[in-house]
Amino acid sequence: MPVPNLEVAAVFNEIAELLTLQDANPFRIRAYRNAARMLSELGRNVSDMHERGEDLDALPGIGPDLAGKIAEVLARGSCTLLDQLRQQLPSGLSELLRLPQLGPKRVQLLHQQLGVDSVAALRRAGLSGRLAELKGFGPKLRQRLLAATQDRPQQAKRYRLDRAEAIAAGLLTQLRAMAGVERAEAAGSLRRRRDSIGDLDLLVQAHAREGRTLIEAFVRLPDVGETLAAGATRASVLLRNGMQVDLRVLSADSFGAAWLYFTGSKAHNIGLRSMAQQRGLKINEYGVYKSADEPGKSQPKAGLARMAGADEASVYASLGLAWITPELREDRGELAAAQQGRLPLLIALADLRGDLHAHSQASDGQDSLEVMAEAARARGLQYLAITEHSPRLALTHGLDANRLAQQRDRIAELNQQWTDFKLLRGIEVDILEDGSLDLPDSALAELDLVVGAIHHRLDLTRERQTERLLRAMDQRYFSILAHPTGRLLEQREAYDIDLQRVLRKARERACFVELNAQPARLDLNDLACQMAKSEGVLVSINSDAHGRHDFNHLRFGIDQARRAWLTPADVLNTRSLAELMPLLQASMSRPAEPLKSP
């Protein structure tokens, strides 16, 4: 995912947000959002395509108009439409959109009803009590908004995993092409596959005499905006997008030790050092040494014997440990497990047999049922659940009972053409504020599974939001709780729920929870997935695909599942279709609990 793709996607996302503030045609808004999503997942560099004269309008969802705007953004970093929208709307509205508690609809309401057009104006409205006049702005949300408008030191920016990965990939490609570079790798939290990344740590293996030349070439790369430090073997820079990148040049005999050290986490490294001390050893970024040979914090002097360091496995082995996969290196018991030979066999992407949350053109997806099915099938999946939105989300063109029945019949027709693959009939039904579902039982009863999700009233109190979810799972037809905490990375915090109560209800009602693999969600997160495992609730790793390219999301979900110590047995959709269907049928064949007043 090259950097220019992300820059164009950012422009298209901002256009979509500003169009939403103007109450523009929802299909026009969706076109920009879909284009941004496609570009974020595209493996090719649109800048290179444009320079080679390739037709950008041949890309999925990109017509001549959007292709022209892509070319314009590549040429000058913006486009005329975005400039016009910014001029038509108060500049402070874009600033409001950056607050994690606000989206376009809420900003529109604030502007239209209270005249709020900046963060300062929002603070004044909060202090005066005027926010209480607006529907949906409950006490908790008002408190959070007021806190968000306070003057305080700005937190360091974090980048979604997919975006950080794309930036790192571009830099590594350039480093690997430099003369003298034997290998180049990413370390840090990116290698540990955290859901968001603060900065990048990159390592290059090369001969010591090449170090200064490589550092000088690195700081001159086109994406580098400012050099913070540069020496013979290390450099620290700020990219033009503001991200800090640290580069270190290592010799072959130290590369493994450095890769382990700079991958971290800090707590994992402290644990390793403690184990080394117990064995009379010293460990640092250059290798493992006997205490008598301790080189300190500087590079070891010539002649000192190094016990290990060329590769990570040798460093771990010197401490009596099996190699530990980077996703587990968070000091959550992995060192003891490695010492005792009980590290789990973690789930891998190849273990997934199907995907239980996807959309087509019938709601807010980009592609037809046939295209989505063939894309899933081409990836080796055995089944795919089509789960369009329900009517509550009008912007997504959600399906009512009649349209759902028509799609169900169409899926039945399509399934006749495959012997190695099956489309499952589902729905992503909105969970209403009282815990009821957005479609009647008569419509849900004909499906293979029901995916329930919250998309509105995210500001309820912890008790009310929790009760809402518990009542939803008490409905007769309920299979999977989708993106259970509602967070959007870089945009919106999770809503407040008692997750343990929710998970225990899921276990009691024989339903499941989702790890939504969209890079913007990754919800449940790794710690919550660990909690699900401890409560005996199966996790479903789903792409939430809105187009055929979105099945790429699944690998990001696998990353978080591995960080949560999940094995194939802990994941619902590692099961064959024959094993899966009885589990889904159990979730769809139970008596409903009476719906109590919230």
The overall average pLDDT reported for the chain is: 89
- Give the pLDDT of residue 111: 83
- CA distance linking residue 214 with residue 174, whole number of Å: 11
**Looking at residue 330, what DSSP letter applies?**
T
151 confidence band (pLDDT: 50, 70, 90):
low
Q: Is 424 helix (H, G, I), strand (E, B) or coil?
A: strand
- Give the pLDDT of residue 4: 67
First to last CA, the chain: 45
Beta bridge partners of 287: 284
Instruction: For residue range 168-216, list pLDDT tens digits in order.
Output: 999 999 999 999 999 999 999 999 999 999 999 999 999 988 999 999 9
Residue 591 CB neighbours (<10 A): 6
Share of the chain above pLDDT 90, in %: 60
- Give the pLDDT of residue 479: 97
Residue that the structure tokens 């969970």 belong to: 431
Amino acid identity of residue 545, one-letter, is A
- CA distance linking residue 243 with residue 164, whole number of Å: 9
Burial-class residue 489 by CB neighbours within 10 Å (0-12, 13-18, 19+).
Answer: buried
Write out the two tokens for 235: 């450099």
Mean pLDDT of 573-585: 97
Residue 67 CB neighbours (<10 A): 18
- 3 pLDDT higher than 60: no
- How many Cα atoms within 13 Å fall on the side-chain side of residue 498? 11
Tell me which of 148-157, 261-270, 519-528 is least confident.
148-157
Which domains, from first to last, does the chain contain? 3-148 (1.10.150.110), 159-250 (3.30.460.10), 255-339 (3.30.210.10), 349-587 (3.20.20.140)
- Give the pLDDT of residue 593: 59
- CA distance linking residue 591 with residue 277, whole number of Å: 60
- Give the pLDDT of residue 1: 39
Q: Are 503 and 535 in contact (CB under 8 A)?
A: yes
Residue that the structure tokens 């995993």 belong to: 161
Residue 314 CB neighbours (<10 A): 18
Instruction: For residue range 514-543, list pLDDT tens digits in order.
Output: 999 999 999 999 999 999 999 999 999 999
- Give the pLDDT of residue 295: 47
Residue 190 to residues 52, 169, 243: CA-CA distances in angstroms?
Answer: 32, 11, 13
592 confidence band (pLDDT: 50, 70, 90):
low
- Give the pLDDT of residue 76: 76
Strands of 497-544, DSSP E: 512-516, 539-542
291 confidence band (pLDDT: 50, 70, 90):
low
- Give the pLDDT of residue 163: 87
- Give the pLDDT of residue 477: 96
The pTM is what? 0.78
- CA distance linking residue 377 with residue 274, whole number of Å: 49
Write out the two tokens for 299: 């590079």
Burial-class residue 34 by CB neighbours within 10 Å (0-12, 13-18, 19+).
Answer: buried
Write out the two tokens for 222: 């086109």
- Give the pLDDT of residue 106: 84
Of 97 and 332, the one with more pLDDT: 332
Residues 416, 419, 421: CA angle, nearest 5 degrees: 90
154 confidence band (pLDDT: 50, 70, 90):
low
- CA distance linking residue 48 with residue 37, whole number of Å: 19
Instruction: For residue range 319-354, list pLDDT tens digits in order.
Output: 999 999 999 999 999 999 999 999 999 999 999 999
Instruction: For residue range 387-396, list pLDDT tens digits in order.
Output: 999 998 766 7
Share of the chain above pLDDT 70, in %: 93
Instruction: For residue range 292-323, list pLDDT tens digits in order.
Output: 544 444 455 544 577 888 999 999 999 999 99
Mean pLDDT of 453-477: 94
Burial-class residue 157 by CB neighbours within 10 Å (0-12, 13-18, 19+).
Answer: middle
Residue that the structure tokens 């874009």 belong to: 94
97 confidence band (pLDDT: 50, 70, 90):
confident
